[in-house]
Amino acid sequence: VNQILLLLLVLTVCAILYNRVHKVPSSLKNGTVDLESPEEMEEEIPVVICAAAGRMGAAMAAISSIYSNSEANVLFYVVGLKNSIPHIRKWIENSKLKEIKFKIVEFNPMVLKGKIRQDASRPELLQPLNFVRFYLPLLIQKHEKVIYLDDDVIVQGDIQELYDTKLAPGHAAAFSDDCDLPSTHEMVRSVGMQNTYMGFLDYRKQAIRDLGISPSTCSFNPGVIVANMTEWKHQRITKQLEKWMQRNVEENLYSSTLGGGVATSPMLIVFYGKHSTINPMWHIRHLGWSPDTRYSEHFLQEAKLLHWNGRYKPWDYPSVHTDLWENWFIPDPSGKFKLTRPES
């Protein structure tokens, strides 16, 4: 009897060992490998911000606000031209920003050769870094989803919320529509800000009329973008944008009177009817369009992201709501960048 029991015990142990060695996980049967449970994984959030030489303090304030208001695993891609890269690195590594995760990316302006029509009315809009958003897949290689932010923003919410923006199937990007928030309409009217395609495209030109886009169609602002890189590459978005840039050089298709923005107009054309929407509180705009008009303090405190688009920037004078921006400003360790204030 003892021998039989011993034999049964040995057979049981062997069976257990065999199952452990040869068992196929259910995840492999489905063609995927679940290495970690969702609770153990922390998704990396790539945020792209440009740091132009003359306004580098803006980028640092934006980064500071994002880092301070989120526990998310944020990776900052700080994009600059070759001659400004040492300054970017020094500012980050010799300030409280030294704790952030970042990569400095050099943008080669030669990719824009022959694609930008000179516009004397707003020369600052022709700076090469204004077009970085056109080339996101070339600069950011390993991410499926990317956030792009203009440098003249501060973030008051958790950037994870913006990253979680849902993009509809087939959409390469999400933006905020310029007609999306009734509480901003009075501001738009008071400063003469255009919020339709008429303010950006020259409808006297046949190429624009042939698009079949009503001039009263609400525009969107590409200063805040949540982008799907797979769709962007699949739809060859960069090539489409370059095509309209080249056509503008030849035919002068973009209005430079009110909306201006030679980087906005191609995006309005390419993404017409093919973009998802961002929560309006994640892009409160027009803070830089007038040195006199102000939002209510309560409204601004509720906002997740503030954008000083327009001529009047919060690091210059005159400008509005500068106290909110200065909360996140980090002085330049090299002393090159200084705020312009009445007392100075």
Assigned domain for 30 exists? no
Q: How many separate domains does the chain show?
A: 1
Which are the contacts of 65, defined by CB distance < 8 A and separation ≥ 6? 154, 155, 156, 327, 328
Higher pLDDT, 239 or 127: 239
Assigned domain for 166 exists? yes
Assigned domain for 129 exists? yes
Average pLDDT estimate for 21-47: 50
Assigned domain for 195 exists? no
For 121-166, write each residue's pLDDT tens digit: 666 667 899 999 999 999 998 999 999 999 999 999 999 999 999 9
Assigned domain for 21 exists? no
In which band, very low, low, confident or very high, does the pLDDT at 36 lie, cut at 50, 70 and 90? very low
Assigned domain for 69 exists? yes
Mapped onto helix, strand or coil, the DSSP state of residue 329 is coil
User: How many beta carbons lie within 10 A of that of residue 26, not counting itself?
Assistant: 9
CATH number of the domain bearing residue 68: 3.90.550.10
Assigned domain for 12 exists? no
Give the highest mean pLDDT range of 55-69, 196-210, 245-259.
Answer: 55-69
In which band, very low, low, confident or very high, does the pLDDT at 240 lie, cut at 50, 70 and 90? very high
Assigned domain for 34 exists? no
Please name which of 67, 217, 65, 230 lies closest in space to residue 137, comparing C-alpha atoms: 230
Domain boundaries, position 135:
45-181+220-250+262-327
- Give dist(CA 191, CA 320) in Å, integer: 13
Spatial contact of 114 and 26, defined as CB atoms under 8 Å apart: no
In which band, very low, low, confident or very high, does the pLDDT at 86 lie, cut at 50, 70 and 90? very high
Beta bridge partners of 86: none
Q: At what angle do helices 85-93 and 56-68 cross, to 10 degrees?
A: 40
Give the CB-side neighbour count of residue 145, counting CA atoms within 13 A.
Answer: 14
Mapped onto helix, strand or coil, the DSSP state of residue 39 is helix
Please name which of 166, 138, 159 lies closest in space to residue 44, comparing C-alpha atoms: 159
Q: What is the pLDDT of residue 215?
A: 93
In which band, very low, low, confident or very high, does the pLDDT at 344 lie, cut at 50, 70 and 90? low
